[in-house]
Amino acid sequence: MRRHSAHVNANGLAELSAGLISGRRATRIHAHLVGCQRCASVSAGLSGVRVLLASVPPSPMPEAVTARLGAAIAAEAAARSAAAAAPEQLTRGHTPQPAGTAGDGPPRRRWPGWTSPAAARAFATAAAVCLVAAGGYSAVQLTSPGSSGPSVSAGPATRTRIGTAAGPYHVGASRGGGQVPAQPAFSVVISGIDYNRSTLSAQIESELSKLSRVGPDTQAGKAIRRTPTAQQDACALEVTSGVTPTLVDAARYQGHPATIIALTQKGNPYAQAWVVGPKCSGTQSDQLTHVWLYASGG
Amino acid sequence: MTDRIFPELSDAQLLKRHLQGEPDAFGQLFLRHRDRLWAVALRTLCDPEEAADALQEAMISAFRRAGDFRGDSAVTTWLHRIVVNASLDRLRRRTAHAVSSVGDEGTLDLLATQGRVPATTDPASVRDTALDVEAALRLIPPEQRAALVLVDMLGYPVADAAAVLEISPGTVKSRCARGRARLLPYLEHLRSSTPAAEVGPEAGFSRNRTATGSVSPGQGGDG
């Protein structure tokens, strides 16, 4: 079997160059390459591929991503510390398991704020980097530990909003220091929609997808956004157990004034939403209905 | 530059501090290796948003599962592994959504018919080359891509890539070889338009290993 004329395909040549072919077969291919322009060219091409791949310089992690991940890790650390310090406070959260104990099984994603109100509050107090999210908008506020006091009382839960299509995380250093107002972590949309019982899920999903897809500029022209009143702020956090809601829409439900509060979790295709009446406050939810949504990870 | 807090501690010591409850230790570990981890996620996923999501998922997972780290590999290898797995999981989910009943080969064919690797108009432009390479990388199976990212793009030794991917060195080589063969048709035009002096085999493997990808995961600062 001395068929030096047999061509070798690209896979074979790549395997040869990777040292995966040895012995007689390697010798045979090498001999073939000497006399075959075509296979020699493919072989050179494969080397070229390696060179090309190596020639692409690795880009450093963008600052915005560093800030976001750093904040997520800081929040995780604060939640862990809070869980260690005050485990009895964790009973009210969405996740019965205290932070930091997810040792076994597949890791479940739990973002700060989602874990528990206590942990979220602790994060707001303790973390030097604070991620504030309002609907589709995102802002990273770099605050010193001392200046985070006011924002704790107004918006106790901070939640890292991740992967919004609206995009960049603005580092609000210029708004830092003592100038940081007691700012709620979300804003209220006034969509003008009259949500209907039979189409509620679809309507909310549609609004949520707008939040994640439409940038602030275009969004501004479509729906009015307001800073929540103290009652709205307290109501939303009462309903979500302290987690910053993704969507708060002061709208109507079945023809009556109502507020739609939706909570999504990145990476979790399921979201939930509450419809609450005008009496909703920090002490009662005045809940009209609650639905689970399929938000497809938005 | 990023080691403001624990510059003197090795990765393994940082991880130990983290397990002991030191709140800043893991963040420090992240800052120390973020660029390399970013490069891995970005190249594997070919999408900055997805890469950031995968990295966040991976870092939170690593934070919580630090106790699982056994010390039989470098901390960086372990971190890389979590990032690669998070990225591949994401790709599988995405592929499962996009083309449900088609396997890797079918996916490739499908993508190959849709995808157009743009021709390089300015061969001198590194940026264009990078874009072409990224576009071509999307067209090969994720497992091959992950191996190529580690070995060819980031310059990790095969043994380190094998430890990250938890496969044998031979399998790493095989995936790399098949990946290169797959890439060849998409990248050949770049080669022919690149000065010959730069594409000779001898020109290749020491180049551009200077920045963040230059240190292999096995060479992390473990004491």
For residue B24, give the CATH number of its domain.
1.10.1740.10
CB A195 within 8 A of CB A204: yes
Interface mutation target, options A52, A76, A140, chain B, most CBs of B under 10 Å: A52
Last residue of a domain, one of B98, B119, B136: B98
Q: Which domain holds residue B124?
A: 102-195
Chosen for mutation from A53, A95, A129 (greatest number of chain B CBs closer than 10 Å) is: A53
Are B72 and B142 found together in one domain? Answer: no
d(CA A286, CA B7): 53
What is the pLDDT of chain A when averaged over all its residues?
A: 67
Query: Among residues B65, B186, B23, which one has the least CA distance to residue B117?
Result: B186
Q: Is residue B200 part of a domain?
A: no
The verdict on B106 and B39 lying in the same domain is no
3-state secondary structure chain B: CCCCCCCCCCHHHHHHHHHCCCCCHHHHHHHHHHHHHHHHHHHHHCCHHHHHHHHHHHHHHHHHCHHHCCCCCCHHHHHHHHHHHHHHHHHHHHHHHHCCCCCHHHHHHHHHHHCCCCCCCCCCCHHHHHHHHHHHHCCCCHHHHHHHHHHHHCCCCHHHHHHHHCCCHHHHHHHHHHHHHHHHHHHHHHHHCCCHHHHCHHHHCCCCCCCHHHCCHHHCCCC
* Run means of pLDDT, 10 residues per run, chain A, 298 residues: 70 92 92 91 91 88 92 89 65 41 39 36 32 30 33 33 31 34 70 85 83 54 74 86 85 90 74 87 84 59
Q: Which residue in chain B is spatially nearest to A16 when comparing CA positions? A: B177
Q: How many domains does chain B have?
A: 2
- Which of B52, B78, B98 is where one domain is finished? B98
Q: β-strand A287-294 against A268-276: which pairing, if any?
A: antiparallel
User: Domain residue spans in chain A?
Assistant: 10-55, 63-90+109-179, 188-294
Task: Write down which residue in B63, B98, B133 finishes a domain.
Answer: B98
SS3 A64: helix
Q: Buried (b) or exposed (e) across A110-130, using 16+ Cβ within 10 A?
A: bbbbbbbbbbbbbbbbbbbbb
Determine the Cα–Cα distance for residues B144 and A277; give it in Å rounded to an integer: 54
Question: Mean pLDDT throughout B93-112?
Answer: 50
Q: Of B59, B148, B178, which has the smallest distance from its Cβ to A69's Cβ?
A: B59
Q: What is the mean pLDDT of chain B?
A: 77
Clarify whether residues B27 and B110 are in a common domain.
no
Give A79-126 pLDDT, tens digit per residue.
888 887 765 444 444 444 444 343 344 443 333 333 333 333 333 333
Query: Any chain A CB within 8 A of the CB of B197?
Result: no
For residues B59 and B31, state if they share a domain. yes
- On whether residue B205 sits in a domain, the answer given is no
Q: Whole-structure pTM over 0.80, yes or no?
A: no
Contact in structure between A133 and A139 (CB atoms under 8 Å): yes
User: What is the Cα–Cα distance from B95 to B99, expressed in whole angstroms?
Assistant: 6
B89 and B116 share one domain: no
C-beta of residue B99 within 8 angstroms of C-beta of residue B110: yes
3-state DSSP assignment of residue A294:
strand
Residue B124's domain is classified under what CATH number?
A: 1.10.10.10
Burial class (CB in 10 A: 0-12, 13-18, 19+), A173: exposed
Cα(first)–Cα(last) distance of chain B, in Å?
20
Are A234 and A281 contacting, i.e. CB atoms less than 8 angstroms apart? yes
Q: Let me know whether B144 and B180 are in one domain.
A: yes
Closest CA to B220 of B27, B10, B7, B8: B10
Q: Mind listing the pLDDT tens digit for each residue in B35-74? A: 999 999 999 998 899 999 999 999 999 999 998 888 888 9
Residues 6+ away with beta carbon under 8 Å from B86: B41, B54, B55, B57, B58, B61
Same domain (yes/no): B18, B74:
yes
Angstrom distances, CA of residue B92 to CA of A143, B138, B166: 39, 13, 18
H or E stretch including A210?
helix A200-213
More confident residue, A232 or B215: A232
Helix (H, G, I), strand (E, B) or coil at A265: strand
Is B19 within a domain? yes
Give the minimum alpha-carbon distance from A79 to chain B in angstroms, rounded to a whole number. Answer: 10
Q: Per-residue pLDDT averaged across B86-102, rounded?
A: 72
Residue A103 DSSP SS3: coil
Residue B212, in any domain of the structure: no
Question: What value of ipTM does the predicted structure carry?
Answer: 0.74
Q: What is the pLDDT of residue A270?
A: 65
In 3D space, the residue among A206, A214, A210, A219 whose CA is nearest the CA of residue A293 turns out to be A206
Q: Which residue has the higher pLDDT, B97 or B73?
A: B73
Give yes or no for B177 touching A (CB within 8 A).
yes
Q: Give the rounded percent of residues in chain B with a pLDDT score beyond 70.
A: 68
Q: Does some domain include residue B135?
A: yes
Name chain B contacts of A165, Cβ cutoff 8 Å.
49
* pLDDT for residue A14: 94
List the alpha helices (DSSP H) in A127-194: 149-154
More confident residue, B141 or A151: B141
Same domain for B65 and B114?
Answer: no
Considering the domain boundaries, does residue B211 fall inside one? Answer: no
Instruction: Supply φ then ψ for residue A136, to 5 degrees.
Output: -80, -5
Q: Report the C-alpha gap between A28 and B124 in whole angstroms.
A: 38
SS3 per-residue string spanning B173-188? HHHHHHHHHHHHHHHH
pLDDT at A294 (0 to 100): 63
B76 and B133 assigned to the same domain: no
Radius of gyration of chain A (CA): 27
Look at B213 and A58 and tell me if their CB atoms are within 8 Å. Answer: yes
Q: Looking at the structure, tell me whether residues B169 and B139 fall in a common domain.
A: yes
Which chain A residues contact residue B31 at CB under 8 A?
66, 70
Query: Does residue B143 lie within any of the structural domains?
Result: yes
Least confident range from A247-251, B107-111, B168-172: namely B107-111
Measured distance CA(B65)–CA(B173) in Å, rounded? 30
Task: State whether B53 and B66 are in the same domain.
Answer: yes
Asked whether B154 and B39 are in contact (CB, 8 A), the reply is yes
CB of A107 less than 8 A from some CB of B: yes
Measured between alpha carbons, how far is A158 from A216 in angstroms, rounded to an integer? 20
Q: Which residues pair with A131 in a beta bridge?
A: A140
| pLDDT score, position B115 | 37
Residue B214 lies in a domain: no
pLDDT of residue A267: 64
Q: Touching check for A20 and chain B: CB below 8 Å?
A: yes
Q: Return d(Cα B175, Cα B146) in angstroms, integer.
A: 9
By the 8 A CB rule, do A205 and A246 touch? no
Number of neighbours of residue B139 by Cβ within 10 angstroms:
21
**B111 and B78 in a common domain:** no
